[in-house]
Amino acid sequence: MGKTLVVVESPAKAKTIKKYLGTGYEVLASKGHVKDLPKKMGIDIDKGFQETYEVVPGKEKVLAELKSAAKEANDILLATDPDREGEAIAWHLAEELTGKPNKAKRVEFHEITKNGVERGVASPRALDQHLYDAQRARRVLDRIVGYDVSALVWTKLAFGLSAGRVQSVALRLIVDREREIEAFVPEEYWNIGAQLAKIEKNGGKKQPFAARLAQQNGKKVEVKNGEVAARIKRDLEGAAYRIAKVTKSERKRKPYAPYTTSKLQQDAVNRLGFGAKRTMQVAQGLYEGVDLGKDGGAVGLITYMRTDSTRVSPEALQGAREYIAQQYGKSTLPADPNVFKSKKSAQDAHEAIRPTLLDHPPEVVKKHLKDEQFKIYKLIWDRFIASQMNDAIFDQTSVDIEASAKHTDASYTLRATGRVLKSAGWLEVYGAADSTQAGDSDDAKADATKEPDEDAATLPELVEGESLELVVPPGVLAEQKFTQPPARYNEGSLVRELEERGIGRPSTYAEIISKVQARDYVEKIDGRSFRPTMLGKMVVDGLVNSELDFMDPTFTSSMELELDAVEAGSEGRVALLSRFYKKFRQQLDKSKKGKRWNPEPEPTGEVCEMCGPKSEDAKLRALGPGEMMKRWSKNGWFLGCSNYPKCKNTRDLGPDGTGAAKPREAGIDCDKCGKPMVIRSGRYGEFLACTGYPQCKNARPVPLGVACPKCGGDIIEVRSKKKGGKTFYGCSRYNDETVKCDFKLWQKPLNEPCPACGAKFLVMAGTKAKPIIACADKECGYKRSADKPASSIAHSLDQLDQEGAAAAAI
């Protein structure tokens, strides 16, 4: 008697499912797609956009094994991932294994557990033509735009460049944000605050607290310049302070919904530093199954990780409530389960991302997980458990303080706020004392304008009418600030923007982000934020000026809705593609008639050193002196001789043209020929080059001015030319055959001795948001803020609460 053949996508998933199904089933993996469009277009427009699919190169052996098993099987169950892409893989497998799609059955596993697998096998269905057509339509749209628009970019800018239907829109968002930053004009403003305390009788201990200026003469005050700030500071330093109003209220903070794909990606970026693609790879592994040892075996730890729904099954809700009651007490449970609304555009095909079984807490299974798996699993676990707990409740106090200036008629109002956690509720999952770890990406966005710890301070008991006094130091502090431009997108905020605009779907966010980065259209600043390159700006400007509809984010969003309509069966695949293609061809043909997108060459006034009277080559001498012109190629800006192509002299200026036409003196002689070396700018940054070029082509990195502590050589920056390669700082003698010094640092050294231990240099450390200067010797422990000088560190308003707490402890 033949077995039932079950085909899944990955070998890991096959192994886990085989354990649950037993001997009556054979479980094999297709290892992803077995068929795809060829490298050429592969689409017949005139025949209803009919595709030509071919076996994916390298999949012949896998397909032969599957066909052999299919011949011996009684039934074939196609258990590829439960989404459009999985439906397309299942359809192609059915065609190859049976000849007709309706001869195979489709099953879906939303979680790889014993119950989840048994439920899926017990509920087979026919392959879904509408779901497959939606995937086909997206694939054809992407292929048409990718081929035709890439060809346009080649002719208008440079050969070898490419463009994509959705990726180009994502790139436009990055470019538009950069233009906002470039156009931003900072405005000066001043924060003014004071450290105050109750006037204690009989020498009682003071309890200082911070208050900020809110009003002047009963009206909201905005201080825009130093003169006004200085006047207000003088008034406040001589003012009498009295508590005018104390307001106490109860505030609630609701738990967040369980993770959707986009929210998981955002939090993984912001809290763990994981990219969207890496996050999904780790989550895929948790979904497919992890070996928990002999007793547990392989088990899927989370539900399917591509979803835009916050829905949770009744069984999972009940399990969560039982776990919470046991672990945190019944008092932490709401009377009824918390229910969260999904976005209007959510397909709701799958549950939210949650743990499959609550008898596998992160700390218990940690020893079986890789570090990145544990971190993602804990994010998902904590979010799900917290989502079904009570609100966190705070007692919040707001105090208005009247400050009457003694020598002027001015009256000021300062405001102090504080809160005390009354009931932790869902924050207990994260540790009630550290509620910052329990935030949500949307919450962080909404609170971006709040001052640090604005509501978190604890205030002493204050009564209306009481007098207060200044605590000196710091007394009154006026701090100059400037408004900041909008932040550049990182992977998390770009995913959020795509989701909010309705661009892409849970299954495509990571792919969109990955493709944006794969081209030289953007670069990551500090390994985090996206900044478009000049090439990226030119591509976007050219496509936008060509008035191609697909570059409009609103158009792309509406296309997603139309693809959803195809999936629902209310829109025909061919009708959608025909409507799009007719207008697309008209716009594309019109755009081909315009001029090229790259900038015209610019004269620099610099004479070419390779041709003209000084040249040693008679043919180049006969040309006469050429002028070095600033030109652009897809690799960046460069200088090229006006006598090109007869004179091929060029010099790289880097991707954005920041290299100066005239090199800078370095004060270093060439170690090969003895001529002076100069500092030039190239694609990979600044470097030392010999002035004897082209006869002497010696070039080397620029020293950082810090001596190697190991051998006395120069420490230099070593930048990998590989995409994604890490920069480090090492000794210039690492390639020296006689010395071979292996000294290496991951943090940039600074030519400044450590004031604590006397070490010869310090290093740049910390994060982008909070950079610090520290001693390289960890045992020393010296560190300071990167924006503070070594000699004196000024007080700031952000330190008032900490200073008050310290004073109170004395």
**Three-state secondary structure call for residue 685:** strand
Burial class (CB within 10 angstroms; exposed 0-12, middle 13-18, buried 19+) of 142: middle
Which residues have a Cβ under 8 Å from the Cβ of 674 and sit 6 or more positions away?
none
Q: Are 137 and 581 in contact (CB under 8 A)?
A: no
Q: Which residues contact 156 (CB under 8 A, 6 or more apart)?
A: 542, 594, 596, 597, 598
Q: Are 281 and 264 in contact (CB under 8 A)?
A: no
| 18/78 Cα distance (integer angstroms) | 14
Helix (H, G, I), strand (E, B) or coil at 566: helix
Peptide bond into 694 cis (omega under 30): yes
Count of all residues that appear for the chain in the document:
810
* Residue 346 identity (one-letter amino acid): A
- The per-residue b/e assignment along 384-416, b for 16 or more CB within 10 angstroms, e otherwise, is bbbbbbbbbebeebbbbbbbebeeeeeebbbbb
Q: Which residue has the tokens 């010797």?
A: 777
Q: Please, what is the Cα angle at 67 between 64 and 69, to 5 degrees? A: 110
**ω before 361 within 30° of 0 (cis)?**
no
Q: How far apart are CA 702 and CA 700, in angstroms?
A: 7
DSSP one-letter string for 238-288: T-EEEEEEEEEEEEEEPPPPPB-HHHHHHHIIIII---HHHHHHHHHHHHH
Closest CA to 85 of 579, 500, 510, 493: 510
Here the tokens at position 664 are: 């800078």
- Looking at the annotation, which residues are catalytic? 304
